[in-house]
Amino acid sequence: MTCYPKKIDLHIHSKISDGTDTPSEILQKVKGLGIELFSITDHDAIKAAQIISRELRDDSPAFITGVEFSCRDENGKYHILGYSYDPSEKAVMDIVQKAHDYRMEKLTSRLNFLKSEFGITFPQNEIDTLLRQENPGKPHIGKLMVKCGFASTKEEAISEYLNKGDFIGRYVRPEEAINGILAGGGIPVLAHPSFGSGNQLITGAEMDKRLSRLTELGLQGAECFYSGFSRELINEMLDFAKKYDLYITAGSDYHGANKTVALGHTNHPDVSDYPAGLIRFFRRVLADIK
């Protein structure tokens, strides 16, 4: 009988995007928690995969490459996870670069919005430091606002200032992310499917329509087990995964001190009750590792 990992976490963010732990710190924490299979899925960035690959030892947990692309099209916003891709593949690097460029455009738009709408400006040295970050976003601006006395907390900075503007800008389309991941030999997976933009909850017929469209574009999996999902949402996503013959993944969406979610808290089932889609995912990615 094949033994599959008993504890996994396939949705983790490091300091390279909007987490607070370095990839090396995450590796040590994962090992200490007994997590047997993990992936670092930074937003629009794959540098963690390169760092971890150099630090793996014989006694390290199994690791698969990961990334999370922020996507948008005429039908809404999506977060597309990519797993087990070749980080040196040009198609992967090209879509990462495009996503990064769009992210930097949004950063500039947000800074201009704060200045025009609220009169908030920052010392040039602080802006230079912000621009040197690997993949800066709202949390980084929020922390800077707290540092400069414009908000009491990062959360206040985001909800009361940054979220007041509509920064549509340019986004990677879901088919671009999916095609880039597939071209790199990877598996495209819809992150936290039931949660859309902001407080949006996507279920029932709306979810069915979304999955139908995305699977036609090449989507291969869904994150059915997620730290923020209720049992009802998990069960609904498991039914959809079965309907569309999708791989199943499980992730915490750990961000270190930037969120209260614990590393390894994925709501995935007991080892004796793994659904078929998760077992198929294990078989695919563990074969890639070997």
What pLDDT score does 12 carry? Answer: 98
Q: Please give the C-alpha separations between residue 228 and each of 201, 235, 245, 252, in angstroms, as whole numbers.
A: 12, 13, 23, 8
Nearest to 203 by CA among 211, 212, 194: 194
The yes or no reply on domain 8-96+170-289 and CATH 3.30.390.10 is: no
**Residue whose pair of structure tokens reads 């999955």 in the numeric block:** 211
What pLDDT score does 176 carry? Answer: 97
What pLDDT score does 289 carry? Answer: 78
**CA 84/CA 184 separation, integer angstroms:** 9
Q: Write out the chain's pLDDT in tens, 290 residues.
A: 368 898 999 999 999 988 999 999 999 999 999 999 999 999 999 999 889 989 999 899 999 999 999 999 998 899 999 999 999 999 999 999 999 999 888 899 999 999 999 999 999 999 999 888 878 888 889 999 999 999 999 889 999 999 887 766 788 999 999 999 999 999 999 999 999 876 789 999 999 999 999 999 999 999 999 999 999 999 999 999 999 999 999 999 999 998 899 999 999 876 667 899 999 999 999 987 76
What pLDDT score does 1 carry? Answer: 39
**Residues with Cβ < 8 Å from 14, sequence gap 6 or more?**
21, 22, 23, 26, 40, 42, 48, 256
What pLDDT score does 134 carry? Answer: 79
- The backbone torsions φ and ψ at residue 62, rounded to the nearest 5 degrees and listed phi first, read -65, 135
Residues 171 and 70 sit within 8 Å (Cβ to Cβ): yes
